[in-house]
Amino acid sequence: MFKDDLKDTIAAISTPQGEGGIGIVRLSGEKALTVADKIFVSSEKGKPSGFKSHTVHYGRITDNGKMVDEVLLTVMRGPKSYTRQDIVEINCHGGLLSLRRILDLTVQHGCRLAGPGEFTRRAFLNGRIDLAQAEAVIDLIRAKTASALKVSLGQLEGGLSRRIGKIREGVMEILVILEANIDFPEEDIRGYDAEKISSGLHAAIRQMDILLEGSFGGRILREGLQAVICGKPNVGKSSLLNALLKKERSIVTPVAGTTRDTIEEAVDVRGIPVRLVDTAGILKPRNLIEKKAVKRSRERIASADLVILLFDAGRRIGLRDKELVRELKNRNVIAVINKIDLKAQIDKKEISGFFPRVVELAARTGRNLELLEEAIFDFACRGRALNPEHILLSNLRHIHALRDARGLLEEADRMLRGDSSLELITQDLKDACAYLDNILGKDFSAELLDKIFADFCIGK
């Protein structure tokens, strides 16, 4: 936690640490150009403080007359910059030593080191973006698929903010009408149309429902879907992981119990980021190692969004299979009958009676693998078309705030129909607007900002 002091000039390395073609040191604040004047020697005449905004200049960073690195320096004067302050970006060679020396020089000459996400935090505090857009920045950086990237870009461009703002505007119009009747009551005359007010509340609730309906898919695109592959030993769990990854990640042998620990890998399934977890076979433990492996498998199954339960087509349903079916019958499960290239011994009816989606495939050859990918995609979309071009609610903080606001509007409508006092109704409407304001950052605390921006990388 740190105190916001917008008068400080901050500096940070804005590119990932390690070797690279280029690295960037970013400065923001009222002394950014002054600091640049002290360390940058241009190949042209003049100093950064005299350069025009949004221009790039070739030169050297020096320390007491000795060259530190050959650089390109970019000047962006506020308010037409990311933070609405003066910004200087120094593009140097991407070695860690060069970046560190340049950063140290900026601190020696008047900057302080930036905190996590402090550049974006300043962009928010200076009114360039709202809080929902600021949160979209980190989602953009962490996007794992093209679809997730599109959702983040839509939020960064203000798509969600405009939708929330429109809902808030409708609620405020109703609030103004009702408060006018509290402040200026006419004797024995109702100065508002209750049906019209109720209709306006329902319209706002419908707009909230549209956003909330897409929240599962939006959250999955943002955070990824955790899918655990489980089953008895030697049913082909590791083969299935390799098939979905389209590379050999897990060791596959005919020996049951080859996988002793969980193996995790990320994969893009039709635009859905999926975290696949290959688990040890569920069996009756014969030793301490197997006991720990089975325990860890069950823990991962318990926390999964989706369970992919494997059966061997070449073997009849056994006692252990039946136990797994009973354990998982109330979970989100895709049942997979693997090894269909072998002579069938399994009775599919014993499985389909418990799970609505049963896929038959051969993981070793990839036969019917697309059917499993389709089933995973359908689960993530919850039967709805998942269009990343649309506004999808993806942030858990936003989802909770919108649900709370919706509940208050429903309560206000109930009280309106029950002839409750206008003071109680208007208070619910004010509280609903406060939740919407919290999404946009119109109402925020330093604690909330610290929590949000703590997840950001330093330099953004």
Residue 386 has what pLDDT? 60
Q: Does domain 136-214+393-441 have CATH number 3.30.930.10?
A: no
**Looking at domain 10-129, what is its CATH homologous superfamily?**
Probable tRNA modification gtpase trme; domain 1 (3.30.1360.120)
What tokens were used for 6? 């917008």
The arrangement of strands across the sheet holding 22-28 comes to 40-42, 55-63, 66-76, 87-93, 22-28, 10-13, 112-113
Q: What is the 3-state secondary structure (H, E, C) of 182-237?
A: HHCCECCECCCCHHHHHHHHHHHHHHHHHHHHCHHHHHHHHHCEEEEEEECCCCCH
* Nearest C-alpha neighbor of 304 from the set 341, 344, 277: 277
pLDDT of 292 reads 72
On the question of pLDDT at 251 being above 50, the answer is: no
What fold does the segment set 223-381 form as a domain? Rossmann fold (3.40.50)
User: What is the per-residue pLDDT for 183?
Assistant: 67
Beta carbons within 10 angstroms of residue 389's beta carbon: 11
Mean predicted confidence (pLDDT) in 253-259:
46
- Separation of alpha carbons 49 and 77, rounded Å: 10
Instruction: Please say if the pLDDT value at position 459 is more than 50.
Output: yes
In the block, tokens 């499993």 appear at 372
309 band by pLDDT with thresholds 50, 70 and 90: very high
Q: Quote the pTM value.
A: 0.76
411 or 320, higher pLDDT: 411
Q: b or e along 6-25 (b: 16 or more beta carbons within 10 Å of the residue's beta carbon)?
A: bebbbbbbbbeeeeeeebbb
Q: Which residues have C-beta within 8 Å of that of residue 206, sequence separation ≥ 6?
A: none
Return the pLDDT at 392.
Answer: 75
The Cα–Cα gap between 129 and 131 comes to 7
Q: What is the mean pLDDT of the chain?
A: 86
What are residue 91's DSSP bridge partners?
Answer: 24, 72
Name residue 59's beta-bridge partners: 42, 71
At 16-55, the pLDDT tens digits run 877 888 999 999 999 999 999 999 999 988 999 999 999 9
Q: In terms of pLDDT, which residue wins out, 127 or 289?
A: 127
**How crowded is residue 82: how many other Cβ atoms within 10 Å of its Cβ?**
20
Higher pLDDT: 167 or 216? It is 167
Q: Which residues, 6+ apart, have CB-to-CB distance to 343 below 8 Å?
A: 314
Show me where the domains of the chain are located: 10-129, 136-214+393-441, 223-381
Paired with 23 in beta bridges are 92
Chain segment 394-409, per-residue pLDDT in tens: 888 999 999 999 999 9
pLDDT (tens digit per residue) in 172-202? 999 998 888 886 655 544 567 888 999 999 9
Decide if pLDDT at 287 tops 60: no
pLDDT at 236 over 80: yes
Q: What is the pLDDT of residue 190?
A: 56
- β-strands 87-93, 22-28 pairing: antiparallel
Q: How many helices (H) and strands (E) does the chain have?
A: 16, 13
pLDDT at 252: 46
Torsional class of 217: left (φ above 0), alpha (ψ -120 to 50), beta (otherwise):
alpha
